[in-house]
């Protein structure tokens, strides 16, 4: 199944995402989710793969994510899907 990935926005310099974070040290995964859990971000530390999900549907995948990319991804998720987060 193919999808149209979301276009990333540039996060402001002092952007701090308004989400919860869980580090799974056994699975080597960082999981982040916004209020309500419908908008999520997973980063698989061992492979460098990251994915963004909205309502359990992948809306973007990235490899070799840098800190800057991570901020841009979360900023994009928070702004583009705010209507789902605020419900």
- Asked whether residue 11 is assigned to any structural domain, the reply reads no
- Asked whether residue 31 is assigned to any structural domain, the reply reads yes
* Greater pLDDT, 49 or 3: 49
- Asked whether residue 72 is assigned to any structural domain, the reply reads yes
pLDDT at 1 over 50: no
In the chain, the number of structural domains is 1
- Asked whether residue 39 is assigned to any structural domain, the reply reads yes
- Position 12 scores a pLDDT of 95
Over range 2-20, report the average pLDDT: 86
Over range 75-82, report the average pLDDT: 96
Read off the pLDDT band of 4 (50, 70, 90): low
Q: What percent of the chain has pLDDT over 70?
A: 94
DSSP state of 3: -
Structural domain of 50: 19-82
Q: pTM of the predicted model, to two decimals?
A: 0.88
- Asked whether residue 8 is assigned to any structural domain, the reply reads no
Mean pLDDT, rounded, of the chain: 91
- Asked whether residue 5 is assigned to any structural domain, the reply reads no
Beta bridge partners of 43: 30, 50
**Residues 68/10, Cβ–Cβ less than 8 Å:** no
- Asked whether residue 25 is assigned to any structural domain, the reply reads yes
- Asked whether residue 3 is assigned to any structural domain, the reply reads no
């Amino acid at each position: 199944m193919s999808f149209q990935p979301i276009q990333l926005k540039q996060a402001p310099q002092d952007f701090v995402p308004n989400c919860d974070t869980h580090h799974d040290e056994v699975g080597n995964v960082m999981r982040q989710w916004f209020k309500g859990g419908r908008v999520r971000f997973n980063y698989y530390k061992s492979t460098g793969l990251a994915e963004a999900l909205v309502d359990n549907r992948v809306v973007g995948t990235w490899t070799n994510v840098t800190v800057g990319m991570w901020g841009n991804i979360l900023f994009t998720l928070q702004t583009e899907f705010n209507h789902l987060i605020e419900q």
